[in-house]
Amino acid sequence: MPSLKDLKNRIESVKSTRKITKAMQMVAAAKLRRAQESAEASRPYAERFNAVMAGLAASVGGSDSAPKLLRGTGSDDVHLLVVMTAERGLCGGFNSNISKLARAKADELRGKGKTVKILTVGKKGRDALKRDYGDLFVGHIDLSEVKRIGYANAQDIAKDILSRFDAGEFDVATIFYAKFQNVVTQIPTAQQIIPASFEETEGDDSGAVFDYEPSEEAILAELLPKGVATAIFSALLENGASEQGARMSAMDNATRNAGEMIDKLTIQFNRSRQAVITNELIEIISGAEAL
């Protein structure tokens, strides 16, 4: 049975932990608001961009004159998985859920006899996958020094991916990230970015007839690389909001658990102290009676 001093030390230790988790929760809440606004502000542009690109892609079809980023290499033997996670932990299942989705995709592709390559963005994804898939890694992008994600960061990642595609290192590229829904829910998502895949949505201009100058192929060749960067930038913003939401939720749970533990330890401390006092009284009374 722990002594009163041990119980008191444990209570003080848990109280210190609760102060830290509460502070982290407040910081995450402050960062979440800005990250959520950025993620939500980027969605209309990304959706409209995809709608326009869907119309252009539909008009070009599978012709030989279509840009390589649209038609692909004609094969899907080599897949590049771009796993985008956070640089830090203490955010619940945010990082592990993205890594789990990428792991399932890698196993599925390898089961079909495909070659898999992995490019990680964020330290936690690299740490989660390197033990089982370290031999598949082809690179890592460190964003630990970046205080606020900008489009330039997405462009750098896109340039890396596009240069690998131009060099013939892979046939299909897929990004993995978490789409922000609310503080409690972040949805792990896989999105193919090469060859470009666009879904036609209701209300777009895919049914209208336009004359393009220059040709659709020329416009696509110019916009498709920007489309890759746009998709990556949108994923980074979604990840940023998801990370802060997950961290806020995790730290709130940790704070609550610390409070419950303090209550239990306090009850145990009071009972132990009461038992000690009772024993001392019994000894005093017994000694008085003996005299």
Residue 141 near residue 157, CB atoms below 8 Å: yes
Catalytic residue among 91, 172, 241, 251: 91
d(CA 172, CA 197): 11
What is the DSSP secondary-structure string of 250-281? HHHHHHHHHHHHHHHHHHHHHHHHHHHHHHHH
The DSSP code for 134 is G
Q: How far is CA 26 from CA 22, 88, 128, 255, in A?
A: 6, 17, 27, 11
d(CA 225, CA 221): 7
- Stated as kind and residue range, the H or E segment containing 87 is none
Q: 172 catalytic, yes or no? A: no
Catalytic residue set: 91
